[in-house]
Structures are given as C-alpha cells and as structure tokens.
A and B are shown apart, each in its own frame.
Chain A
Amino acid sequence: MSDLSSDMADTDRGEKSSLSSHVDGTEDDVRDWIALLKPRVMSLVVFTGLIGVVVAPGHLHPILAFTAVLCIAVAAGACGAINMWYDRDIDAVMKRTRNRPIPAGRISPGGALGFGIVLAVGSVIVMEVTINAMAAAVLALSIGFYVFIYTMWLKRRTPQNIVIGGAAGAFPPVIGWVAVTGSVDLIPLILFAIVFIWTPPHFWSLALWANDDYRRAGVPMLPVVAGAKETRKQIVLYSLLLVPVTLVPWYLGFSGAIYGVAAAVLGLGFLVCVARVFTDKQDAAGVSLTNDAPARAAFKYSILYLFVLFAALAVDRLIG
C-alpha cells in the first residue's frame, strides 16, 4: 500500500525526543502520531489514487471522490504505522530510521500497532459503506499485501522483496478506478503495472547509497546480497521494461498525444538517468566513487517521473 521507499521518510523528528523522555507517558505528541503515518510516502499514494479516480470512466460525486481518496490515504498511513511497529528492531539500528517514534521511545510498540489496526479497519469499513464493496475489497487486499506479504514475509528474506512487495504500492490507482466504476478493468491493471515496474529502479537507486544501513540491519536488499554492480544492471533492465509499458495506454487508444508524448519524453529522461547510474565511476565491485551522485539523481527523478507521468494521463483524459 505504501511506497516502499517509505523507510527513508521520517528522520527529522528525533532531536526533540530527549526533552522529556523521562516524563512517564508523555513522550509522544501529535507530530509523532502523524510521523507513524509516513506522510511523505502518503503523498505519492494519494496522488496515484486520485489519478485512478480522475481517469476512470464515469462520474463520482466530489465528496465521495474525496472520501475514497481519504480512505486510500488513511490505509496507507495504517500500513506505515504497522510497518514501523514490525520493523522497530531494524529501525533502531539504521541511522536514518533510529529517530522514528518507536525506536526513539516516544510511542510504545503496542500503541503504534493499535493505531495502525484501527486506521486500517476503519478505512476499509468507510470505503465499503460510502463507496462500494469492490473498492473496499481491493483496499483490504492492498493493506494485507503490504503488511503480511511485504513487511512480515518478504522484506527480511529475499532481495526480491521490493520487486514482489512493489505490488503493494501499485494498488492505489486501481482502488481509485474501482471506486468510480465498481469493477477492475485493463487500464487500471496497466497503471498497476507501471507503478509495479517503476518501483525496483526507484527503490534500488536509493538502496545503492543506503547500502550500509541495510547491511547493518541485516535486510537483504539487492545491493547487500548481489552487490552494487548487479543492482545497477537490474535498474537498467527494469527501466527498459518500464518505458514501453508506460506507452501502452496511448497504444491502446485510452489516452491521446499529450500523454503519449509525455510518456516518451519522460521515459527518455528516465533512461538517461539510469544510464548514468550504470556508467557511474565505480570500483571493481561496482561501488560508486562519486558518492552515488547519479543514483541520488535517479531516485529524485523517479519520483518526479511518476508524478508528471500520471498528471499527464489525467490532463490528457480531461482535455481529450
């Protein structure tokens, strides 16, 4: 449900924790509970969910559309909270996550888990009552996939964790579409495929420079298990697969020239970015000699890429 790069989302809340950490029961404040929801990750999830609503054929009253997107956002936040509860041990040893509310001791693990479960169940119930049962079912499926398949099963067991787990972050446009139409169609599955194939190069670009953290925590990310060189190769391969898939909505006639041109130009930019990652100055093991500057640039571009690509699809549908 959440974008998997969520692990990098919230590292800026730790400095205040020592202020009153010894005042029993008062360590947390509202910002800590918001941090549990991984709000930065939520923005991408909300956006892709909104695009699913906008591009779907048919009409959903704006208040119901808002409710559907809110349910998607709350469910994503719930996934973030449950993920932080489950991963509190590895969060505590990773530099960029050790100041999260649970490892920093500002929120109890049980409190975070309860918070996540209430939000997850609540979002599914509200989706069912206000929108439709199919959208609620897909929402529940996405939460279950993220929590049980990705967080609890795959993440610590296989370097393919974010490849398969990437499906969790690909659900929002499908949920948005189903909220309007009540059924799953080919186009939302293509949107699903775009986010699904986009996730590995996006996340591995991050993993290249966060490699040490993952190694310390024992998380078998691809750069940890297979090395940086193999990761660079996989980034290029997934990107080469991604670009043609983004052109499918145009090829099928679902979208027009605006989206087609945008997908082609953005895809070209993406390929240039990952080519720079592949040809980065590196040692024999593939470790960057430039502090992974191309990988950092590719990670940033990948976020912009998905935002603009989906925005172009929405604009194309609204104008065309």
Chain B
Amino acid sequence: MAAFPPRPTGSEADVFRRRRRGRNIAIVLVLAGLAVLFYAVTIVKLVLP
C-alpha cells in the first residue's frame, strides 16, 4: 500500500501558489531580459564595423 503525502492545507496551498507564481515571473523576466540583450548585441554587431 503506497503512502501518499498529506494533502496540503489551505494556507500551505496558498504558499505553494505564491512561490510558484514568483518563480514564473522571475523566469519570464530573465527570458525577456535575455531576448532584449541578444537583440541589442546583434544590432550593435551589425552596426559596428
């Protein structure tokens, strides 16, 4: 008989959702920053002799 972890309570589930949301926002910001950076570097490389 497999032992399942206890179901999170309401407040624990809230903490879980808040942290997951924080991680997701951070990843989006990092990816967007990288996209902007690579775009800018590409333009600079194209323009510079």
Contact = CB atoms under 8 A, between A and B. Distances in A.
B contact face: mostly helix, strand, loop, or mixed? helix
B44 A23 contact: no
Contacts of B44: 61, 63-64
A64 B48 CA distance: 11
Interface string A2-37: 000000000000000001101110101110010000
B26 interface: yes
A60 to B, nearest CB: 10
A282 interface: no
Q: How many residues of A sit at the interface, in one of the four size bands?
A: 10 to 19
A61 B45 CA distance: 9
Contacts of A291: none
Contact of B26 (A30, A64, A70): A30
A43 interface: no
A94 B5 CA distance: 31
Most buried by A among B16, B19, B45: B19
Contacts, number: 39
Most buried by B among A26, A33, A70: A26
Contacts of A63: 37, 40-41, 44
Given A28-B19, A29-B19, A23 B8 contact: yes
Given A20-B12, A61-B48, A26 B41 contact: no
A70 B37 CA distance: 10
Interface string A51-79: 00000000001011001001000000000
A130 interface: yes
Given A61-B48, A64-B44, A30 B15 contact: no
Contacts of B48: 61
Contacts of B40: 63
B41 A20 contact: no
A33 B24 CA distance: 13
B41 A29 contact: no
Contacts of B8: 23
Nearest to B16: A26
Contact of B19 (A22, A24, A26): A26
Nearest to A19: B15
A22 B48 CA distance: 54
A22 B15 CA distance: 11
A153 to B, nearest CB: 32
Contacts of A24: 5
Nearest to A129: B41
Contacts of B5: 24
Given A29-B23, A30-B25, A64-B44, 10 more contacts: A20-B12, A24-B5, A28-B19, A29-B22, A30-B19, A63-B40, A63-B41, A63-B44, A67-B37, A67-B41
Interface of B: 5, 8, 12, 15-16, 19-20, 22-23, 25-26, 37, 40-41, 44-45, 48
7 contacts: A22-B12, A23-B16, A24-B5, A26-B20, A29-B23, A30-B22, A130-B45
